[in-house]
A and B are shown apart, each in its own frame.
Chain A
């Protein structure tokens, strides 16, 4: 009985987060088209309709999905069939796995059970996320290699070198956060961000690590392989690693990008914007710094905190979309130079400065 309940809780968490991510990713395809359209004084996709209802283009998501399922499932003659099939799954799998350690809510008491809203509560949480994100490279490289297409292979290689360059910056940036909070457990990092500075400013990571936040966002953008860092793909002119992919196999790569964008948003929210923390909301309700108090039932607190996490994630990836539709693509040498000669030294300086400040305080 005990075991079944535990299992039920774990499954409920997995299903909730998985459906939230998939739903967000599907909506993100729509949001990307619409947001870019509005930014560029256009209307955006609005033609897909059901019985004449267009629902501001939302049916386009369904139309795209259906189209992808019914497209020809093409495998090049010389391709390595097994790896070719496996590669997009690898990419998608690791992108989704990275969410396992991201806490989407706090720790709550349900009767006898203490539920931590995090799928895999481990003391190596941040390491797990980074491991999964780095393993995602294999999807790109294998996909490029197995297509037996020179352009795809080159795209995969570009992807590998780009992601390795930026992985290092990303890791080095987070060291600052680790030094401040002294833990790899994401749940703990988030709960420590609930403290208040001068009794009223929520002490989010971005206040302690502003440079780290900017660097992390940039590196995360590079990790998601999207404009301005979309050199592995180069949808419009240089062909990328998924040139030979069609149908839902391509769809998986396509989705991976969006899921990684959401992951970038979720991670930035977790590390730098207080994760599920709502300012001045504690487990028994709001305690405003100007003295007001508002008692809330535990369920409402939970809903607010999960909602806060999803909202923060949404706001951050919306910002990433703004950046994506503003900047032109980097040239290959500019990209690598930016990674190794600017971002990496800056992140190292960030570590040194953080260390000095911690020593002095």
Chain B
């Protein structure tokens, strides 16, 4: 069904256009003078708590991340520092991007049975759907590091693996 476009009838003053231009200019010019005053005050160290711009200067200051945002993965640890992962392959199975690769080994503790001798995540393929986190029965993988910049120059470098303590590769919470 075709949508009927409702054009708003302009009043005479709006049709004159001049008045509307002046209104628009008033908004932009008042923003300009408000912000430039704040910028100058900031130069002298005054009124620092009133921001003069709404933007974030990215590499130096980052945008506050929502707490539920899915960011780079991390593997959680047991109290003795060994991985919580029991190499059940749930995450590897559910991963729609096929980016998790696990090789299981036998754990000395019969209560645990298995542990991953190798745990790779190809973050170049990862689509950050969070299914691995949902699937994990042991709460062994989480996506709450808050790390967003994990670029590299080669595809090989995008594969983060547990063995070289590089999961996550950068920043806090490195996994041993």
Contacts and interface: CB of A to CB of B under 8 A. Distances in A.
Contacts of B53: 37-38, 41-43
A238 interface: no
Q: Is the interface of B mostly helix, strand, loop or mixed?
A: helix
A201 interface: no
A41 B28 CA distance: 10
Interface in B5-24: 21, 24
Contacts of A35: 32
A307 B108 CA distance: 86
A69 interface: no
B24 A43 contact: no
A41 B36 contact: no
A327 B31 contact: no
B25 A39 contact: no
Interface string A4-43: 0000000000000000000000000000000101111111
B151 interface: no
A327 B26 CA distance: 12
A350 to B, nearest CB: 15
18 contacts: A38-B32, A38-B35, A39-B29, A39-B31, A39-B35, A40-B28, A40-B31, A41-B31, A41-B55, A42-B53, A42-B55, A43-B53, A43-B55, A322-B25, A322-B28, A323-B21, A326-B25, A326-B28
Interface string B68-110: 0000000000000000000000000000000000000000000
Interface residues of B, number: 16
A325 interface: yes
B32 A43 contact: no
A327 B21 contact: yes
Contact of A322 (B32, B36, B39): B32
Contacts of B154: none
A40 B55 CA distance: 10
Contacts of A41: 31, 35, 52-55
A42 B38 CA distance: 12
B152 interface: no
Contacts of B32: 35, 38-39, 322
Nearest to A328: B24
A322 B36 CA distance: 14
A327 B52 CA distance: 23
A35 B31 CA distance: 11
B25 A323 contact: yes
Contacts of A39: 28-29, 31-32, 35
B33 to A, nearest CB: 9
Given A39-B32, A40-B31, A41-B31, A326 B55 contact: no
Interface string A239-268: 000000000000000000000000000000
B57 interface: yes
Contacts of A322: 25, 28-29, 32
Contacts of A42: 53-55
Nearest to A323: B25
B24 A326 contact: yes
Given A41-B31, A323-B21, 7 more contacts: A38-B31, A42-B54, A43-B57, A322-B32, A323-B25, A326-B28, A327-B24
